[in-house]
Structure 1
């Protein structure tokens, strides 16, 4: 019995030893696999860190570009606003100048119309004077002829000088009137 018992014990210990060996081998395989996994995870983690760093650098660069673009945009916006204000000011000045020119043209037209009315009045006055002076010349010629026939007035008499002056004045007026085609030269009042 004793031998059988020892043999059974020995066989049990042998079986236990084999089982422990199998577990040990299994554990070593697990450890190796875990090491490989850890190394892979570590390489993934390093890659992820590198990628994060690269993305962070790109983000910083993009932010700086965005800030530069924002500054340019704000500057362009201000320039456009200034330009629009200048355009409005220019339109206002142009409108004021146009109104001023219109007012000047109206004043000029009124002045021209006034001058034309004055010219018409002067022409009428000249016609009246021409008629009046023409009848006076005829009357004076008649008087002169009667006086010379009676021998009362000589050729050097002041009456003849008066008639000559009136006739030459009339000639000058009629010649001036004929040259301008019915209009006298515009008088200079200013």
Structure 2
């Protein structure tokens, strides 16, 4: 409020006008202060409401953080359990792969061993077959040289006087059949005495 001191020689109506102006200015100032006060109170109320909202948001955020932390701890424990299972499964797979490699190596070694045995057996069989043919040829050579004939029905050897002589009831075809029977009998006898069965 502004006070103005007027000289005393001014008339009274001027003093009244000045006082009225001063009073009006004071009223205007009061109204302005009231408006500012109302505005400040309104701002305070709005700030209180904002603070309450922010506080509720903060509490909600804290609750959410707590829930997220719990989920994170649970997820970490599940991850650790899964990691242990994964490492165990990885080790088992590695062990199985090593066992499979060992089995394949053993199987390959056994297969090679069997192949070597089969080759050796085949060579031995072929050698025995050659030996058998040689022996059969030798037996037939001796039979022809000695002029004997083997009768397969009753196993009786008959002596002939010469290589070209044949009994009356025998034809050349029967003689060939008897020689074949003799060959079969000798071969069968040799096979029975072999240590390996062909």
TM-score (structure 2 length as normaliser): 0.63
Compute the displacement of 1:124 (Å). Answer: 2.8
- Residue pairs, 1:1-190, within 5 angstroms: 1=12, 7-134=20-147, 178=182, 180=184, 183-185=187-189, 186=191, 187-188=193-194
TM-superposition CA deviations, 1:24-62 (whole Å, max 9, x none): 222111111110010011111111111222222222222
TM superposition score normalised by structure 1: 0.66
Structure 2: runs of 5 or more not aligned: 1-11, 149-158, 162-177
Supply the distance in 1 between the matched residues of 2:101 and 2:195 (Cα, whole angstroms). Answer: 43
Q: In the aligned structure 2, how far is the partner of 1:188 from the partner of 1:32?
A: 121
Alpha-carbon displacement from aligned partner over 1:138-170 (angstroms, at most 9, x marks no partner): 67xxxxxxxxxxxxxxxxxxxxxxxxxxxxxxx
Distance (whole Å) between structure 2 residues aligned to residue 83 and residue 189 of structure 1:
44
Count of residue pairs brought into register by the alignment: 156
| Residues 52-110 of structure 1, C-alpha deviations (whole Å, 9 max, x = no match) | 22222222222222222222222222222222222222221111111111111111111
1:183 aligns to what SS in structure 2? helix
Distance 1:189 1:45, change over 3 A: closer
SS in structure 2 of the partner of residue 180 of structure 1: helix
Specify every segment of 5 or more residues in structure 1 that has no aligned partner in the other structure, as ranges. Answer: 140-173
**2-structure distance, mates of 1:46, 1:66:** 30
Structure with the higher fraction of residues in helix conformation: 1
Question: CA contact under 8 A between 1:123 and 1:184: conserved in structure 2?
Answer: no
- In structure 2, C-alpha distance between the alignment counterparts of 1:178 and 1:11, rounded to whole Å: 162
> Does the 8 Å contact 2:136/2:187 carry over to 1?
yes
Deviations 1:159-183 (A, max 9, x none): xxxxxxxxxxxxxxx89x6383562
CA contact (8 A) 1:119 1:184 kept: no
Deviates more, 1:34-43 or 1:22-31: 22-31
